[in-house]
Chains A and B, each alone.
Chain A
Amino acid sequence: MSGVKLEKIVKAYGRLEVVHGIDLEVKEKEFVVLVGPSGCGKSTTLRMIAGLEEISAGDISIDGRVVNRVAPKDRDVAMVFQNYALYPHLSVFENIAFGLRIRKESKGHIEKTVKEASDILGLTPYLDRKPAELSGGQRQRVAMGRAIVRRPKVFLFDEPLSNLDAKLRTQMRAEIKQLHRRLGATSVYVTHDQVEAMTLADRIVVMNDGNIEQIGSPMELFMNPANTFVAGFIGSPPMNQLQGNIEKVSSGLQVRINDTVIDLPNNTNVEDGQSVVLGIRPEHISLSNNEGTSAMSISLNLVETLGSEALLHAKFGEQDMIVKAETNGQIDHLSEISTVYAPTDLVKVFDAKSGLVLSEPFSQGSNT
């Protein structure tokens, strides 16, 4: 099985430690996305898997074999680089064939393999062109073609879409996903864009400051962020985070924020008076007073219209919050809103000090 396993991986440059002993197991055929802000160590981690960076401590195994001391070329991995690293002096064909030529594959084999790859990627009409004559999306495909023809055990992607414009990025995202379905290769993908992570990943690894904050499926991360960092990173716009204090009352648990109290699910692990951060996703807040919700008075600053939805930028007491509301083609009524409702079973509570989640995980399936 061609999985990748990282055990207590550390990367230090002299005195500066940038990856602090992370553990991660990527299963065979799995598409894992490492996501995090820039400088979080995600690219370094990917480059350590590739063999482009030495490992300061820990073990990396590919396909059950420890590869710490194995040269990149012998690890049987292929990488798609952020800037594609296409050789400007070589044609598309020669770029894709480069690795095969270096490995002294037979002419027939090279022709056949490049042909297959270019068919898959829709590059066949462009094989004689130079990279400079291609569009951004086509270059991106050539970079993938170069990885595909090697038939590696593991594909590594280092922010491959960050040089494309927004529209192309959406399109290439879908293509990468389809390609992965088709080839079924184990893939590790690095990005700083949480949307890319959500759409592509079987599992997402959220990294911050050289540590792994959380590993989970996209929906797990969205519904059950392990801490305020993940809550703030995953989702767009991110989860609202409001400072408050726990009050235990006869009817159950509440968070008091200024004069407002918001009901919590009863199974939240909190103590009376504890300082907490209340997390509410903008899309979970409703405009109508349904059962099981707590009313919040807000003062609206700005309505941002996105089309089918609108973002309401508001102040809740002294704190900022964002509400995502459906427009149904109308936005006039939104500017009148002064009260919104937080659904009790969807709010999350985090410890104010550690940032760790205190709510029980929201079980999948009970929500649509």
Chain B
Amino acid sequence: MAVGMNLYSRGDKLFALATSVLIGLFTVATFYPFIYIAAVSFSGGFAAAAGKVVLTPVDSTLAAYKYILTQPKFWISYGNTFIYTIGGTIMSLLIIIPGAYALSRPQLMGRRFWNLFVAFTLWFNAGLIPFFLNMRDLNLLDSYFGIIIGFAVNAFNLILLRNFFESLPQSFQEAARMDGANDFQILWKVYIPLSKPAIATITLFCIVSRWNGFFWAMVLLQSEEKIPLQVFLRHTIAFLSDDHEFTATLSSQPYSAESVTAAIIVCSIIPVLIVYPFIQKYFEKGILLGGVKE
């Protein structure tokens, strides 16, 4: 705000204080579950199972981490998540960037039609079953490639980038064109360098959705050695809470179903937390680039 602090009256300062307190409460409420889960993950099995943990670890131990980090399946699924995230993001960018560029160019014949062709899928979706049957018909069940290609394009990201390209001054490409650049050169040498924030934003969206992707991986992948971390996490949570044999062995173990679940959650959040500060400045801008318009 362009208004200086000294211009605030006493009532204003009280109001500011009240909002600060409310925001503080909401922020703490938002952050608390993470603290709680971390505390559970470092707590002893009995304390975690009996609900003794509220804020800090009780009977601190790394046992839950030892258990989970020695599971080969955990590492396989972690590796798979990296494959899906990196492969999927690259595939997305390879399709979306040139596509968005073409859709942004006034020269493109049938541009209105193609844009509608893309936007229509935002309004009407065939649904789960036809998509699943289609993947099966394409022989893309239980395949790395199926996951990578099947979710490569997101119409929202495509439109977001197209809007960004359209917002660049026309003279950039006109100048390049007059200098003799063709469309590939204009895209590579002018548009991509000029669109770093927008491309970073959609890259971020791709990475996050890939890293977190769970439902279709659960539905499409059958082999245990192909599942990503999120599905492994899901299986483990279901397994731990249902498997009475595991529960029975608990008394002799320093970990519990709760602490192991919490430990996997922590392991899976850590990469997000590491990347998060770097991406924050992008998504704040990026979400606005989406500017819902054609």
Chain A residues near B (Cβ < 8 Å):
50-52, 71-73, 77-79, 81-85, 87-90, 98-99, 102-103, 146, 150
Chain B residues near A (Cβ < 8 Å):
169, 171-172, 174-181, 185, 189-190, 193-194
Per CB-CB distance, the 6 closest pairs between chain A and chain B, nearest first, are A99-B179, A85-B171, A73-B180, A85-B175, A89-B193, A81-B171
Expressed in whole angstroms, the Cα–Cα distance for A98 and B179 within the complex equals 7
Expressed in whole angstroms, the Cα–Cα distance for A195 and B178 within the complex equals 29
Known: A52-B177, A102-B179. A82 touches B185 (CB 8 A): no
Q: Is the interface of A mostly helix, strand, loop or mixed?
A: loop
Instruction: Specify which chain B residues have a CB less than 8 angstroms from the CB of A102 in the assembled complex.
Output: 176, 179-181, 185, 189
Known: A88-B194, A89-B194. A73 touches B178 (CB 8 A): yes
B82 → A minimal CB distance (Å): 30
Is A82 within 8 A of B179, CB to CB? Answer: no
Q: Taking each of B171, B172, B176, B185, which has the highest tally of chain A beta carbons within 10 Å of its own beta carbon?
A: B171
Expressed in whole angstroms, the Cα–Cα distance for A146 and B180 within the complex equals 13
11 other A-B residue contacts (CB within 8 Å) besides A52-B177, A83-B171, A85-B171: A79-B174, A83-B169, A85-B172, A87-B193, A87-B194, A98-B176, A102-B179, A102-B181, A102-B185, A146-B175, A146-B179
B178 → A minimal CB distance (Å): 5
Expressed in whole angstroms, the Cα–Cα distance for A169 and B194 within the complex equals 28
How many pairs, one residue from A and one from B, have CB atoms within 8 Å of each other in the complex?
Answer: 57
Is A79 within 8 A of B175, CB to CB? Answer: yes
Q: Could you show 12 A-B contacts with beta carbons less than 8 Å apart?
A: A73-B180, A73-B181, A83-B169, A84-B171, A87-B193, A90-B193, A98-B176, A99-B178, A99-B180, A102-B176, A102-B181, A102-B185
Known: A81-B171, A83-B171, A85-B171. A72 touches B177 (CB 8 A): yes
Instruction: Specify which chain A residues have a CB less than 8 angstroms from the CB of B185 in the assembled complex.
Output: 102
B180 → A minimal CB distance (Å): 4
Known: A87-B190, A87-B194. A103 touches B180 (CB 8 A): yes
Expressed in whole angstroms, the Cα–Cα distance for A103 and B185 within the complex equals 11
Known: A87-B190, A89-B194. A79 touches B178 (CB 8 A): yes
Instruction: Specify which chain A residues have a CB less than 8 angstroms from the CB of B174 in the assembled complex.
Output: 50, 52, 72, 79, 81, 85
Is A77 within 8 A of B190, CB to CB? Answer: no
Give the nearest-CB partner of B178 in chain A: A72
Q: Taking each of B169, B179, B181, B190, which has the highest tally of chain A beta carbons within 10 Å of its own beta carbon?
A: B179
Known: A87-B190, A88-B194. A73 touches B171 (CB 8 A): no
Expressed in whole angstroms, the Cα–Cα distance for A98 and B181 within the complex equals 9
Expressed in whole angstroms, the Cα–Cα distance for A72 and B170 within the complex equals 15
Expressed in whole angstroms, the Cα–Cα distance for A90 and B175 within the complex equals 14
Expressed in whole angstroms, the Cα–Cα distance for A71 and B178 within the complex equals 8
Known: A87-B190, A89-B193, A102-B185. A78 touches B178 (CB 8 A): yes
Instruction: Specify which chain B residues have a CB less than 8 angstroms from the CB of A89 in the assembled complex.
Output: 193-194
A157 → B minimal CB distance (Å): 13
Expressed in whole angstroms, the Cα–Cα distance for A83 and B174 within the complex equals 12
Instruction: Specify which chain A residues have a CB less than 8 angstroms from the CB of B193 in the assembled complex.
Output: 87, 89-90
Known: A85-B171, A88-B194, A89-B193. A77 touches B178 (CB 8 A): yes
Instruction: Specify which chain A residues have a CB less than 8 angstroms from the CB of B172 in the assembled complex.
Output: 85, 87
A140 → B minimal CB distance (Å): 14
Expressed in whole angstroms, the Cα–Cα distance for A52 and B172 within the complex equals 12
Known: A87-B194, A89-B193, A89-B194. A73 touches B177 (CB 8 A): yes
Instruction: Specify which chain B residues have a CB less than 8 angstroms from the CB of A98 in the assembled complex.
Output: 176, 179, 189
Is A50 within 8 A of B180, CB to CB? Answer: no
Expressed in whole angstroms, the Cα–Cα distance for A55 and B163 within the complex equals 28
Is B194 within 8 A of A85, CB to CB? Answer: no
Instruction: Specify which chain A residues have a CB less than 8 angstroms from the CB of B190 in the assembled complex.
Output: 87
